[in-house]
Amino acid sequence: MGFLSWLRSFANRDNALPYPGNPGKFYYLINYDEEYKEILSNLPNRETAISELFLFRFWLTQYSYRLQRTKGVSEDLILRELIPDGLNFGKGIFELNHRIKFEKLFQCDFMKLMEDRFAKYDQGVISENNPDDPIGLVYASIVLATKLTEDTPLELDLYLIEKTNKQFTEIVALHVGDIESAKRIVRELTFVP
């Protein structure tokens, strides 16, 4: 077994965490070149783009798990498990798989970068109160689009909203047990283009 295979198997371990499934499959174990192949070739810088996508999917994962948490499980408990895993293990696997170093690419500390991005995505959740976007996923997707390219065409916004809803639906399905129930819940909570 190669080192990357061992890391993936370690990341997929079954443990007693306060949430179902493996959150890593939503942001650090995916192949960004494959998952986002429709847009990466049209973006100015592949490394920056997949790094921004990683940060967004990391944010979306922790946010989705917090929204769907089991009764009796606090947001703080989920954050205490998810954030350190992403900061250390997740970031390391992502950088190894994609041959990227965040600090070198962005010329700043990863923690500062992550906090900045999370704050920008949280803004739609905290302040928007938009009936068409009750949980702020459209706002966050559009903020991501602005991080990917200066000129954000409507097609890019719609593509990212669709990808965001897909990831959110998959996390909801872990909590409710099946994809059809998750789709119904997500239709009520999000904008579906």
Give the sign of the dihedral formed by CA 59, CA 189, CA 72, CA 28: negative
Amino acid occupying residue 32: Y
Residue 73, helix vs strand vs coil: coil
Q: What pLDDT does 16 receive?
A: 53
Axis crossing angle, helix 110-127 with helix 137-148, rounded to the nearest 10: 140
Q: Residue 151: which residues within 8 A CB-CB, separation 6 or more? A: none
Measured CA to CA, the distance from residue 137 to residue 125 in angstroms comes to 8
**pTM higher than 0.85 for the full model?**
yes
Q: What pLDDT does 70 receive?
A: 80
Q: What pLDDT does 126 receive?
A: 80
User: Under a CB-based contact definition with an 8 Å cutoff, are residues 47 and 100 in contact?
Assistant: yes
More confident residue, 117 or 186: 117
pLDDT in tens, 59-81: 999 999 998 888 888 888 888 98
Structural domain boundaries in the chain = 3-189
**Mean pLDDT score, 14-21:** 64
| pLDDT bucket at 187, cuts 50 / 70 / 90 | confident
Residue 135 has pLDDT above 80, yes or no: yes
User: Under a CB-based contact definition with an 8 Å cutoff, are residues 129 and 187 in contact?
Assistant: no
The dihedral formed by the CA atoms of 16, 21, 24 and 30, expressed in degrees to the nearest 10? 160
User: Which range has the worst mean pLDDT, 1-10, 11-20, 101-110?
Assistant: 1-10
Axis crossing angle, helix 137-148 with helix 46-67, rounded to the nearest 10: 170
pLDDT in tens, 145-185: 999 998 888 999 999 999 999 999 999 999 888 999 999 98
pLDDT in tens, 93-132: 999 999 999 999 999 999 999 999 999 999 878 876 777 7
Q: What pLDDT does 134 receive?
A: 83
Q: What pLDDT does 5 receive?
A: 54
Measured CA to CA, the distance from residue 138 to residue 60 in angstroms comes to 12
More confident residue, 136 or 10: 136
